Structure 1
Amino acid sequence: MKILIIGATGAIGKIVTPALAQKHEVITAGRNSGDIQVDISSADSIKAMFNLVKNIDACVCVAGDSHTGDLATLTEENLNLGIKNKLIGQANLVLIGQNYLNDNGSFTLTSGKMGDKPIKNAAGKAIVNGGINSFMMAASLEMPRGLRINVVSPSKISDIPVNDLIDGYLKSIENGTNGEIIKINY
C-alpha cells in the first residue's frame, strides 16, 4: 500500500511513520521537511502536493496546530490558528484529496481527546478537535469510489503506550473501518 503521511516529523508522526514503513511504501510531507513540502493551511499547497504524488492508497494527517490557554484570554486569532490549520487543513485534505486517492483508499485524520473530554484551558483545542470529528462522521456518509475516512483521537501523547497509538492508525488504514472515531487511551 502507498501511504502519504503529513506531519511525519511531529510528535505522532515520529511514532507512526516508522511503524507504517515496515509494511507499506511511505511518502512523507511536512511544512519544512519530508519528501514533499506542504502547508495544510493552504488549499493551493494541498493541490500542488496531490499533483506531485500519484497512486496514493491512504492519506494520513498527523499535523496541525491549535491553541491552549484559558477562556478569559482566548481570542478569535487564537481560535483561527487551529481552525485554519488543523480543522480546515484536514478537511481540505479530504475535499481535495478525494479526487486523487485510488479507489477504495482511505483518509485518516487526527483530532484529540479535547474534542470529547475537554479540560480547563482547552476551549481552543475542543472546538477544533470536535469539528474534525463531526466533519469526518458526516463526510464518511458521502465518500465516493469506496473511499473511507476515520479519525484517530489520542489523549496526551506522552501518556499513551506507543503500540496503542500505532494500532489506532493501522486500524483506520488496514481494517476497512469507515466513519469511526478511534479513541486512544481515554
Structure 2
Amino acid sequence: MRGEKMPTERFYNLPLEKKKAIREAAVGEFSQVSFEKVSINKIIQKAGISRGSFYTYFQDKFDVLAFLFEDAAEKLLENWSECAGKCGGNLWKTSEDFLNGSITNTKEHMLLMKNLIDSEKVFGEIYKVRQSCGSIQCAFLEGLYNSVDKKDFKDQSMESFENLISMIFLELTYCMNWHYHQPEDAEKIKKIFQKKLEILQYGVCRHQL
C-alpha cells in the first residue's frame, strides 16, 4: 500500500477533460451524501469511466478525497494570489477581497464539507489524508507566504505566519458557512470579518508608552 493517500501517476497523466469529468463526478457525489455513503459506482457512472480504469487511478475513496483536497488547494491558492496581486500584497486587504470574491461561490464546497463533518467515522481518516498530503500543504502555505508583504510583521517566520493565516482561514470558513445558510446577511458578515481582522492586526489592549 502506498504511504500517501493520493491518485496514481496514471491519473495525473490523463487528458485535462477526463480529469475534469472525474473531479466533477466526485464533487457531485461527495456533496450529495455523507462520506460513508459515497458510492464509487456512481462516481464511475457520472465520470464515464470503467471500474477497471478507476482502480488504476485510485485505491479507494480516500484517494479520491485526497485529490479533491489537492484540487481545492490549487484553486484556493490561485484565487488568493490574484487577490494579493490586486491588493499590493497587503494581507488584511487580501483577506477581505478574498472573502468578497468567495462569499457568493460557496455552495459546492460547503455542501461537501458539511457532508464530511456530518460523517460518523471519517474524521480520523480525513486527518490521515491531510497528513499524507504534507508536501501539498507545505507548497500551499509557501504560496500564501510568498504572496503577501510581510515588512510590517514583528515576526516574519513561516511558523508565525502559519499561525496567523490559520486563524484567518478559520474565520473565512466560518463566514462562508454563515453566508451559505443566511445569504441575506452578506454585508453583516463582511463587516464582522473586517472587525476580526482589525483585532488580529492591532490587538485589543492599549499599548503602553
Q: TM-score, normalised by structure 1?
A: 0.32
Query: Per residue, is there more strand in 1 or in 2?
Result: 1
Q: Which has the larger radius of gyration?
A: 2
Q: TM-score, normalised by structure 2?
A: 0.29
Query: Per residue, is there more helix in 1 or in 2?
Result: 2
